[in-house]
Amino acid sequence: MAEQKSVPQKKKKGCLGCSLPLTIVIIVVVVALTVIGFLSGAIGQKLFGVQFPSWLNVGVPVVELPAEAVFHIGSGEPVMVWGAQVYPIPITNTMITTWITILVLLIISLIVTRKPRLIPSRIQSLMEFALEWIYNLCKDVAGEKNGRRFFPVVCTIFLFVLVNAWMNLIPGYGSLMVYEHGIEFPLLRGANTDFNTPLALSIVSFVFVTYYGLKNGKFGFVKQFFNVGRFGRGFADLVKGKVKPGCSGMFFGAINIFVSFLELISYFIRLLSFTFRLFGNMTGGEILVLMFLYLFSWAISGSIIYGFELLIGAVQALIFAGLTLVFATMASSVHEEEH
Amino acid sequence: MEGLGFNIAVLIAQIVGFLILLVILTKFAYKPIIKMFDERAGKIKESVEEVQKVREQAAQAEEEFKKKIEVASKEGQEVISRAMRTGEETRQKALQEAKQEAQGILEKARGEIQRERDDAIGELRQEFADLTVVAAEKVIEKSLDKEAHRKIIDKVLDESSTLKKK
């Protein structure tokens, strides 16, 4: 009884779950950090010019689109293939983070599936919640049978993109610097901000969609890109002497061919749109965070951008996985639509 | 492409990395988890079905219970009515017996009365006859033949309705 009575009293006294003095301390610290951050940031320096110790000053961020190579495997003369340097094989900082991401995912999956139980533990139920959500999404979009087939690829894309994006936001991730050949660059860099990673995912997604298009959509999948049937029938009519249906058939057939050609182009353009959507969003987000940290140093706005980036990472992961799922479903159901 | 940082070696490395992740996750994470989802769904379905079954059984049991109660109440009703009928019968029988007994007593009493009456009439006749004989002797001063006289008197008495011998 005494405990029950004291609980609401505590709640009344405290604020945001802390006791009143603690809340005041937190607010003071946050405000102080915001003010100091603002004053030491680029804008604050320009406006007020208050002198701070050098460690508080943030340097101008350098944006480097290509991932920096930490070291190379092999040596000797570089070999160029399609205008890109291939040999010696560079081990870039994004490759390192990719492998860290893979390791993290493997460790999590090991923890989760080491003892799969019907009544799950906390981390298991959290992981299961995410996986079940994606699993149900797959089943809802692609149907029971295809949903099961698509799930591994869709889910791996989701987890890969998500963990890549979120790992990049861990404080200190980009702060480990490496010097090589007189250039300073971070040892770890978000894998999604390397053009090659989104491209790799796009190619995987593209191959996946095409494979299921050919497997499930069969002839209809190919036919949607080379729709010459109507044109051929119109031509045959014209040869037989039926001028009017022949002409109209050839006319609409020509439109069909044009539309299917557009379809073919847009199919391949997906590769680029997939790549640049993820690459642009992730790189843009990274640059945005860097710029905010430069302009305001530590500020409330910096935290807001951080939270925003968390959301963007999740949304991009969902978009990449979801679009792959939708395209695969569409490619699989072309055959059915034809009849 | 160069400006974006395209590098075919890195690209291949990323694809390979992703495929390795895909294979390992599929084998070690998705398969057991999907299996567990299925199992769980099966369990849930099973338990729901079980609940349904139990509910049906309960309903059936209730139905049976109701039926039994109905039968029991009917039986009870029958027992009561039978008991009432038996009671009625017993009562009727007792009444009958009482009536019969009363009738018997009455009959007997009647017989007794009749007999007593007959006796009284007989005695009276005797006395009357004797008296008549004596009176006649006195009147005619002469003894009558007693036997012949009696016959005459009997005849007279028989003629009179009230003292007729039965």
Residue ranges of domains in chain B: 47-159
CB contact under 8 A, B21 and A113: no
Asked if the C-beta of A98 comes within 8 angstroms of chain B's C-beta atoms, the answer is yes
Residue A10's pLDDT is what? Answer: 45
Mean pLDDT of B127-154: 75
Question: Are residues A155 and B25, on separate chains, in Cβ contact within 8 Å?
Answer: yes
The model's confidence at residue A111, banded by pLDDT at 50, 70 and 90, is confident
B chain contacts of residue A124, beta-carbon cutoff 8 Å = none
Judge residue A314's burial from the number of C-beta atoms within 10 Å of its C-beta, 0-12 exposed, 13-18 middle, 19 or more buried: middle
Of the ranges A16-20, A135-139, A298-302, the best mean pLDDT one: A135-139
What pLDDT is stored for residue A12 in this prediction?
52
Spell out which residues of chain B touch residue A282, defining contact as CB-CB under 8 Å: none
ipTM: 0.78
Name the nearest CA neighbour of A212 among A126, A149, A119, A279.
A149
User: Is residue A80 very low, low, confident or very high in pLDDT (cuts 50, 70, 90)?
Assistant: low
* Nearest neighbour of A99 by CB, restricted to B9, B17, B29: B17
pLDDT digits (tens, 9 = 90+) for A267-283: 899 999 999 999 999 88
User: Of chain A residues 122-151, which have a CB less than 8 A from chain B?
Assistant: 128, 131-132, 135, 148, 151
Which of A81, A90, A201 has the CB atom closest to B18's CB atom?
A: A201
User: What are the sequence ranges of the domains in chain A?
Assistant: 26-57, 93-338
Among the partner residues A92, A132, A160, nearest to B21 by beta-carbon distance = A160
* Spatial CA neighbour of A169 closest among A324, A316, A318: A316
Range among A172-186, A239-253, A316-330 rated most confident: A316-330
> Does any CB of chain B come closer than 8 Å to the CB of residue A105?
yes
What is the separation, in whole angstroms, between the first and last Cα of chain B?
Answer: 161
User: A194, B5: Cβ pair inside 8 Å?
Assistant: yes
From residue B59, how far is each of A86, A239, B65 by CA, in Å?
77, 77, 10
pLDDT in tens, A218-235: 777 888 888 888 888 888
The whole-angstrom distance between A109's CA and the closest CA on chain B is 6
Check if B47 contacts A (Cβ < 8 Å): no
Q: Do A112 and B19 touch (CB under 8 A)?
A: no
In this model, does residue A3 exceed pLDDT 50?
A: no
Q: What is the mean pLDDT of chain A?
A: 80
CA distance B89 to A331: 94
Helices A93-114 & A196-212, crossing angle to 10 degrees? 50
Query: Is the pLDDT at A32 greater than 50, yes or no?
Result: yes
The confidence score (pLDDT) of residue B72 equals 94
Reply yes or no on whether the pLDDT at A339 is more than 70.
Answer: no
Phi, psi dihedral angles at A89 (to 5 degrees): -70, 120
Q: What is the model's pLDDT at position A247?
A: 84
How much is the pLDDT for A7?
44
Q: Considering only A95-104, B41-50, B139-148, which range has the smallest mean pLDDT?
A: B139-148
Integer Cα distance of A56 and A296 in angstroms: 11
What are the CB-based long-range contacts (under 8 Å, 24+) for A90-93?
A90/B7, A90/B9, A90/B10, A92/A67, A92/A68, A92/A189, A92/A194, A92/B7, A92/B10, A93/A67, A93/A68, A93/A69, A93/A178, A93/A185, A93/A186, A93/A187, A93/A188, A93/A189
Of all residues in chain A, the one with the smallest CA distance to B35 is A116
**Neighbour count for residue B162 (Cβ, 10 Å):** 6
Alpha-carbon gap: B38 to the closest alpha carbon of chain A (Å): 11
A95 in contact with B at a CB cutoff of 8 Å? yes
Interface touch B9/A87, C-beta < 8 Å: yes
| Structure confidence at residue A9 as a pLDDT band (50, 70, 90) | very low
